């Protein structure tokens, strides 16, 4: 079994879900007392969020690249960056290590294509929805990507940073997200990528009229597949 390296803490709420899902995946495949061989480096999200807000992306990339090098030194055979937004600096991280970085957008795109869909809505932080570092990789996979309008983007982002990363799950926010999803579906979205690792703490498959692609769960399964089959 290969060892999985995780850069977490962004936020720890979703990082805990990563750890659980990866170990559940290993147990499902191997049975018995098996669990994942993994190493986790968890950063202080307050520090990372301040860098995001101030546009200090190169600095945050250097910090996360150093964490990735530490995971490689600890024997990791791959690295997962347990956050969608910080894939803005994925190239900086990948260039710092000699082991694969399993890119979350590629994993999401593969799942959408496997489902036979071509047009998807994308929910995430404002960085993920409004910049091209994530959507470009989806486009490269042949997908058409729809994002919410400005007011809806602001609400999606607000809920992430003021509620979900703090572990707060509010029914009114779930309803607001459902309405945003419905508007994306009305524009032609055949599925919705939950492009923030915390959103699947809020939205469940039954909350939408189209398939939801939960990036934490998909990323965790990709890690399990790498550990056992590649």
**Per-residue pLDDT tens digits for 142-164:** 999 999 999 999 999 999 999 99
Residue 165 is predicted with a pLDDT of: 93
For residue range 56-86, list pLDDT tens digits in order. 999 999 999 999 999 999 999 999 999 999 9
Across 116-139, average pLDDT: 97
Contact assessment for residue 21 and residue 4, using Cβ atoms and an 8 Å cutoff:
no
For residue range 192-205, list pLDDT tens digits in order. 999 999 999 999 99
Give the C-alpha separation, 53 to 28, whole Å. 40
Across 120-135, average pLDDT: 97
Give the C-alpha separation, 93 to 5, whole Å. 13
pTM recorded for the entire structure: 0.94
Q: In percent, how much of the chain has pLDDT > 70? A: 100
For residue range 90-116, list pLDDT tens digits in order. 999 999 999 999 999 999 999 999 999
Give the C-alpha separation, 211 to 118, whole Å. 12
Residue 157 is predicted with a pLDDT of: 97
Residue 230 is predicted with a pLDDT of: 77
Q: Which domains are seen in the chain, by residue range?
A: 4-103+217-229 (3.40.50.1860), 105-214 (3.40.50.1860)
Instruction: Mark whether 196 is an active-site residue.
Output: yes
Other beta carbons less than 10 A from residue 31's beta carbon: 8
38, 78, 82, 196: which is the annotated catalytic residue? 196
Q: What are phi and psi of 229, to 5 degrees?
A: -125, -5
Please determine, for residue 175, whether its predicted confidence score (pLDDT) is greater than 80: yes
Interaxial angle between packed helices 12-30 and 215-229, expressed in degrees from 0 to 180 and rounded to the nearest 10: 40
What is the length of the chain? 230
**What's the pLDDT band for 36 if we cut at 50, 70, 90?**
very high
Across 160-185, average pLDDT: 97
Give the C-alpha separation, 71 to 173, whole Å. 36
83, 85, 147, 197: which is the annotated catalytic residue? 83
Give the C-alpha separation, 71 to 53, whole Å. 26
Q: What are phi and psi of 211, to 5 degrees?
A: -60, 140
Please determine, for residue 210, whether its predicted confidence score (pLDDT) is greater than 80: yes
Q: Is residue 19 helix, strand or coil?
A: helix
Contact assessment for residue 219 and residue 18, using Cβ atoms and an 8 Å cutoff:
yes
Contact assessment for residue 127 and residue 198, using Cβ atoms and an 8 Å cutoff:
no
């Amino acid at each position: 079994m290969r060892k999985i390296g995780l850069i977490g803490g962004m936020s720890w709420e979703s990082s805990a879900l990563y750890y659980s899902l990866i170990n559940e995946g290993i147990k499902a495949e191997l049975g018995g007392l098996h669990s994942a061989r993994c190493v986790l480096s968890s950063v202080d999200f307050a520090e990372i969020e301040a860098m995001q807000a101030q546009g200090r992306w190169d600095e945050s990339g250097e910090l996360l690249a150093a964490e990735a090098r530490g995971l490689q030194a600890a024997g990791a055979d791959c690295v997962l960056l347990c956050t969608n937004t910080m894939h803005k600096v994925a190239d900086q991280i990948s260039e710092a290590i000699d082991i694969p970085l399993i890119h979350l957008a590629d994993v999401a795109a593969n799942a959408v294509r496997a489902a036979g869909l071509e047009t998807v809505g994308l929910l995430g932080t404002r960085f993920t929805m409004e910049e091209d570092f994530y959507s470009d990789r989806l486009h490269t996979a042949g997908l058409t990507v729809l994002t919410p309008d400005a007011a809806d983007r602001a609400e999606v982002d607000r809920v992430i940073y003021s509620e979900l990363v703090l572990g707060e799950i509010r029914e009114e926010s779930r309803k607001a997200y459902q309405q945003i999803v419905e508007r994306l579906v009305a524009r032609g979205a055949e599925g919705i990528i939950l492009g923030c690792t915390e959103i699947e703490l809020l939205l469940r498959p039954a909350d939408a009229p189209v398939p939801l692609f939960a990036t934490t769960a998909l990323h965790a399964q990709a890690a399990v597949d790498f550990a056992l089959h590649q």
